[in-house]
Chains A and B, each alone.
Chain A
Amino acid sequence: MTEILWGSLITVYPFFSGIAAGAYIVSILPVLFKREELKEFSLLALLIAWATLITAPIPLVFHLGSPWRAGNIFIFPQSTSPMALFGYLWIIFLIISTTTIIIYNWFSNTAWFRSTVTALSVIGIVISILFSGYVGFIFGSTKSKELWYTPIVPISFVLSAIVSGAALVGLLYILIWRISRLRIDIQALNSLRKIIWWTLLLDVVFVSSEFIVKTYHPAAVWRPLSELFFRHLGLSYLGIQLIIGGIIPLIVLLFKKSISSPSIMSLMSILILAGVFAYRWNLIIGGQLVIEASPYVYTTISYVVGLLGEGGILWITSIFLVWAFLLSLALVIFPRWKVEVKLHD
């Protein structure tokens, strides 16, 4: 049986959980690190984190062999399993982000507002880093897969989570503000550009050094890996993940001028998001494309996404639509993000 077990649905999950964590981190920077200029879109970032967080487990649950038993992860969590952490981190993260949104929307005039939001943000930043890092740990601790088994994976998952969350915040900030005919704050955008640039730089350095180290692996290990990198994942790894989603945005965003045109910033955000999605894809799918035909005899297989059926393009599109619906709903039921902007203006 040469089908891979964790298909496209599983790649959507870390993409979403990363965005949730990244957008949340952007949202609390004004509170924890006094980055006042980021207040402009901190509530928008929080709503993005919230909608993405709710959407994240959908592909996971659908992928389970017995989805009706998903609750077992809360009832019988095994402490040694990184995957068992999921349920608890997700619940805590959801409670923290929902509470923060409610406080911002309806209790911002109270005496305890600031101290409560600060306390929630302190817990929140730890949880969000753990939430994006634990997914990387699931892969990084799996010694049976040559591509996964590296301590770099959890770190680069956290970094790429921040990059993707910040990029999506930037993209939606420009989009929603333009639709709402609000003035785009260049200073805020510039601050976001710097965050994205430095984190993306670290991420690209980590991932590329990992790649370079792999080329020095023993021939028997490197042979199937090279086939993987240059044949099966040629476009998505070298093309989308490293060049389109990494090197090009790094060059463009190096210059402050790039944000003078919101269209360029939007385009760079899209490229970065494509790159991060490609990273999830290359790691998860790619790791399973190298198989052992017999001890120490490796070969590679291919994976093609279908249109229909589990994990098909239709499924993935539906999950993205659910996410868009939830975000639109959040923007309507938690309207403070607009008021906050006006106050700031």
Chain B
Amino acid sequence: MVELAESRFIKLQEELPRLFNRWIEKKSANPRWVMVIDLTRCVGCYSCQASCKMENGVPYEYFRTHVEVIERGTYPNVRRVFLPRLCNHCDNPSCVPVCPVGATYKREDGIVVVDYERCIGCGYCVQACPYGARYSNPETGTVDKCDYCLHKLSDGEVPACVSNCMGGARIFGDVNDPESPVSKVLSSKAVATLKPETGNDPRVYYVGLEEATKIGPGEAIVINPKVGGVIRT
């Protein structure tokens, strides 16, 4: 039984990029890449976190994407909510205008990228990002962050975190294509973005975000692999 499930899962994993490839061929001329994370489907398995690290060679203790765990309530009425985080590829990003050398910019297709050849590693963009989405990579001397696995995307594949998401919580695609999976989710479900008050116009959407962010004092504890330890609200 387990073997059967495993083999089906592996098949699905192999099939996904091919399906995406076929869909990408029909994609609109001007793609606009967007991610939706359905928190009601996230099981907190950390596959996205681990696969991203492997795919992009992210050093130990650093993350391009990570999963925060929010434990709510008091025993016996407790509940865990998982909040996967990554760069929001904001439409009005704080990280872009502050870069002294123009090494970080937003592409036409909506992806905010870093030019690793030009970046001097000053860290200003890391400080400016209100989402803590960037880190200074000690191995390369530049900053780094999620780029939706640009190398995979140009090969017609989805980002590693999407293809490895066992709960199907990460949905990725071209928002300009009404047939794309993201467009369908965006038109059928209520979505929200993280900290909209920053004015950054984040472009990673969440389904069921309220439960993860509307927490009063003393109502929950947070476990974040980037911070370490357990933080009480």
A residues contacting B by CB (< 8 A) are 1-2, 5-6, 63-67, 69-70, 72-73, 75-78, 80-84, 86, 138, 141-145, 219-220, 288, 291-297, 299, 301
On whether A292 and B132 interact (CB within 8 A), knowing A1-B226, A66-B119, A66-B121, the answer reads yes
State how many angstroms separate the Cβ of A282 from the closest Cβ of chain B.
16
Q: How far is the CB of A2 from chain B (nearest CB, A)?
A: 6
Given contacts A2-B227, A143-B130, contact A80 B120 (CB under 8 A): no
Q: How far is the CA of A289 from the CA of B194 in the complex (A)?
A: 22
B124 A138 Cβ-Cβ under 8 A: yes
In the complex, the answer to whether A144 meets B100 with C-beta atoms within 8 Å is no
B48 within 8 A of A: no
State the total of A-B contacts with C-beta under 8 angstroms: 128
Interface residue from B103, B217, B227 paired with A291 (Cβ < 8 Å): B227
State the CA gap A78–B195 with chains docked (Å): 27
Q: A66-B141, A144-B94 are in contact. Are A293 and B227 (CB under 8 A)?
A: yes
Please state if A1 and B62 are interface contacts (CB–CB under 8 Å): yes
The residues of B with any CB-CB pair to A shorter than 8 Å are 61-63, 68, 70, 83, 94, 97-103, 118-124, 126-130, 132, 135-138, 140-143, 194-195, 198, 212-213, 215, 217, 220, 222, 224, 226-228, 231, 233
| Contact residues of B: prevailing secondary structure | loop
B136: A residues at CB distance < 8 A: 5, 65
Contact B118 A142 (CB under 8 A): no
Q: What are the 10 closest A-B residue pairs judged by CB atoms, nearest first?
A: A65-B121, A80-B97, A65-B141, A84-B100, A144-B130, A66-B141, A83-B100, A78-B102, A293-B231, A72-B101
Chain A positions within 8 Å of B94 at CB level: 143-144
A73 touches B101 (CB 8 A): yes
Q: Beyond the given A80-B98, A142-B98, A291-B132, could you list 6 further A-B residue pairs with CB under 8 A, ordered by the A residue number?
A: A1-B61, A76-B103, A81-B99, A141-B98, A144-B132, A301-B227
Offer 25 A-B interface pairs, CB within 8 angstroms, sorted by A. Answer: A1-B63, A2-B226, A6-B123, A65-B122, A65-B137, A65-B138, A66-B120, A67-B120, A73-B101, A77-B101, A78-B99, A82-B98, A83-B98, A83-B100, A86-B100, A141-B98, A142-B127, A143-B94, A144-B128, A144-B130, A291-B132, A292-B132, A293-B231, A295-B194, A297-B222
Query: A343 CA to B18 CA in the complex, in Å?
Result: 86
Contact assessment for A143 and B227 in the assembled complex, using a CB-CB cutoff below 8 Å:
no
B121: which A residues are within 8 A, CB to CB?
A: 64-66, 69
Smallest CB–CB gap between A142 and chain B, Å?
Answer: 6
Residues of A within 8 A of B231 (CB): 293-294, 297, 299
Contact A144 B127 (CB under 8 A): yes
Known: A78-B100, A82-B98. A294 touches B222 (CB 8 A): yes
A83 touches B122 (CB 8 A): yes
CB of B100 within 8 A of CB of A77, answer: yes
Closest to A66 in B: B141
